[in-house]
C-alpha cells in the first residue's frame, strides 16, 4: 500500500495526490526502553525511529554523516552552517531516501525497484541498487541533465526517457507499478522516502551538540525533503529529546512556486513550472498537502527566488565558501541571502542551509556565471604575467 485508499479515491490527474501515508512509532515505548541512552542511539543510525530491523540492511556504501560546514562571510552577524549533502555516495540528498527504501526492500526480499526522477533520485536509486545487487528502473523526463542520465546508465540501471515532464514520468512509473507489481520508490508515494530523508534532522541534532538550529533553509519542489526535515525533528520532539521545532523556510524558484504560493491561499491553484533549477521544477507537488500541513502546524515560512538570484547564489556559494552546488540546492542559499538582506534573521540565530546536490550534476546551468579564458602562448604569457 502506498496511499490511503479512502483518501486516494478522490484523486485526479490535475491535482496533487491525497492520502500520502505518514509513519508513526510507539514513542512512549521508545522513551521507556532507552531512557537516558536515547541520545547514544542517534549515531550513526537512529534505528529505534526507522522501519528497519538491522543496520546491515543498508549495505556497504557510506550513509549520511555529511559535513556541517561553518561559514564566516564578511558582514555576517548570525552563525551560519552549510549542510553539504553533495558528499553523499551519488552526490545528492536523495541518497537518504534511496538507502531507506533499498534497505526495507532487502529485508522484504524485493529485488527490483522503480522510480520517477528528474535525475538525482534516479541516479541515487541506481547507484544504491547496484551496491545492494538490486535492479533499478528509472523513468526520467527527456530533458533531464545529461550528467544525471549518464550516472544512471553507468550504475547499470534501466532508464526510460519520457516525452514530457517529471509529472509524466511519475505517472508512467505508477502505471508500471500497478500493472506489474514492481516496488516503487517515488517520493511522496512511497512513505519510506520521508523516513529516509528525516535522517538529516538526526544528524543536525547530533552535529550541533544535541541542540536544534534556530532556522533551516530548504529548497522545495515536490515537498518531500521539507516534510522529511520536519518529520525528523517531530520524531525527536515526540521522544522528548528536543522541546522545539526549528523555524524552517521553504525556498522555491519563482517559476516553480506551487507550494509557497499556496501556503496561505484560500483556494489551491497550480501552474506549469519553468526554472533553471530542474530538481525543484514540479507542476504538481506530490507531497503538497503534507508539506503545507507541516509548514502551518510549526509556523514555517515560504520564500521565492528568481533564477537569476539562484545562479548568483550558486556562484557566491562556490567562490566564498568552496561549495559547488547545483541550482536546486543553491536556491536554499538564495533564500538565505534574501532574508538576510531584508534583516529577517536575528544576530543570535544559528542558521543552517541545506545543500542537497553537487554542482557537477548540471554544469550547463551555470555557464552564464563564468567565462573560460582563451588559450594563451605560454612563452608570451610568462613574460607579461603579473599577479
Helix 288-297 × helix 224-238 angle, to 10°: 50
Is beta strand 135-141 parallel, antiparallel or unpaired with respect to 215-219? unpaired
C-alpha to C-alpha distances, 98 to 79, 195, 310, nearest whole angstrom: 31, 10, 27
pLDDT at 76: 84
Digit-coded pLDDT (tens) for 352-366: 999 999 999 888 888
Q: How far apart are CA 20 and CA 171, in angstroms?
A: 15
Residue 202 backbone phi and psi in degrees, to 5: -65, -40
pLDDT at 80: 97
Instruction: Kindly state the percentage of the chain with pLDDT values over 70.
Output: 100
Stretch 52-77: mean pLDDT: 88
Check: pTM over 0.85? Answer yes or no: yes
Choose among 387, 357, 376, 368: nearest CA to 124: 357
Split at pLDDT 50, 70, 90, the class of 6 is very high
β-strand partners of 250: 218, 302
Q: Which of left, alpha, beta for 300 (phi over 0: left; psi -120 to 50: alpha)? A: beta
Q: How far apart are CA 271 and CA 381, in angstroms?
A: 53
Digit-coded pLDDT (tens) for 8-28: 998 998 899 999 999 999 999
pLDDT at 106: 97
pLDDT at 145: 87
Choose among 148, 140, 136: nearest CA to 172: 140
User: Which cell numbers in the block locate residue 383?
Assistant: 613574460
pLDDT at 191: 95
Residue-wise burial string across 315-353, b where 16 or more C-beta atoms lie within 10 A, e elsewhere: bbbbeebebbbbbbbbbbbbbbbbbbeeeebeeeebbbb
SS3 162: strand
Helix 307-321 × helix 327-341 angle, to 10°: 90
Amino acid at each position: 500500500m502506498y496511499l490511503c485508499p479512502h483518501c486516494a479515491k478522490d484523486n485526479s490527474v490535475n491535482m496533487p495526490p491525497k492520502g500520502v501515508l505518514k509513519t508513526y512509532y510507539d514513542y512512549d515505548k521508545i522513551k521507556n526502553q532507552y531512557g537516558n541512552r536515547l541520545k547514544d542511539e542517534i549515531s550513526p543510525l537512529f534505528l529505534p525511529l526507522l522501519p528497519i530491523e538491522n543496520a546491515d540492511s543498508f549495505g556497504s556504501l557510506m550513509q549520511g554523516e555529511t559535513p556541517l560546514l561553518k561559514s564566516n562571510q564578511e558582514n555576517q552577524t548570525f552563525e551560519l552552517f552549510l549542510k553539504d549533502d553533495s558528499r553523499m555516495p551519488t552526490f545528492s540528498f536523495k541518497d537518504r531516501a534511496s538507502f531507506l527504501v533499498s534497505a526495507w526492500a532487502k529485508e522484504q526480499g524485493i529485488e527490483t525497484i522503480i522510480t520517477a526522477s528528474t535525475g538525482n533520485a534516479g541516479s541515487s536509486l541506481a547507484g544504491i541498487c547496484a551496491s545492494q545487487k538490486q535492479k533499478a528502473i528509472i523513468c526520467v523526463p527527456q530533458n533531464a541533465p545529461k550528467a544525471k542520465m549518464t550516472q544512471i546508465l553507468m550504475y547499470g540501471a534501466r532508464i526510460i526517457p519520457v516525452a514530457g515532464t517529471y509529472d509524466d514520468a511519475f505517472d508512467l512509473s505508477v502505471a508500471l507499478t500497478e500493472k506489474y507489481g514492481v516496488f516503487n520508490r517515488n517520493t511522496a508515494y512511497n512513505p519510506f522516502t520521508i523516513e529516509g530523508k528525516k535522517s538529516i534532522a538526526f544528524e543536525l541534532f547530533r552535529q550541533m551538540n544535541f541542540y536544534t538550529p534556530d532556522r533551516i533553509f530548504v529548497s522545495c519542489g515536490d515537498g518531500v525533503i521539507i516534510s522529511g526535515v520536519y518529520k525528523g525533528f517531530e520524531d525527536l520532539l515526540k521522544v522528548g529529546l528536543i522541546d522545539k521545532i526549528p523555524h524552517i523556510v521553504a525556498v522555491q524558484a519563482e517559476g516553480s512556486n506551487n507550494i509557497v504560493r499556496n501556503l496561505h491561499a484560500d483556494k489551491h491553484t497550480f501552474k506549469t513550472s519553468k526554472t533553471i533549477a530542474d530538481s525543484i521544477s514540479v507542476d504538481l507537488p506530490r507531497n503538497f498537502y503534507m508539506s503545507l500541513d507541516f509548514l502551518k502546524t510549526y509556523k514555517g515560512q515560504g520564500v521565492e527566488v528568481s533564477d537569476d538570484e539562484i545562479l548568483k547564489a550558486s556562484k557566491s556559494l562556490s567562490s566564498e565558501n568552496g561549495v559547488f552546488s547545483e541550482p536546486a540546492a543553491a536556491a536554499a542559499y538564495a533564500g538565505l541571502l534574501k532574508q538576510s538582506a531584508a534583516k529577517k534573521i536575528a544576530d543570535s540565530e544559528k542558521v543552517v542551509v541545506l545543500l542537497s546536490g553537487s554542482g557537477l550534476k548540471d554544469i550547463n546551468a551555470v555557464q552564464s556565471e563564468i567565462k573560460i579564458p582563451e588559450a594563451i602562448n605560454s612563452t608570451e604569457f610568462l613574460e607579461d604575467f603579473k599577479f
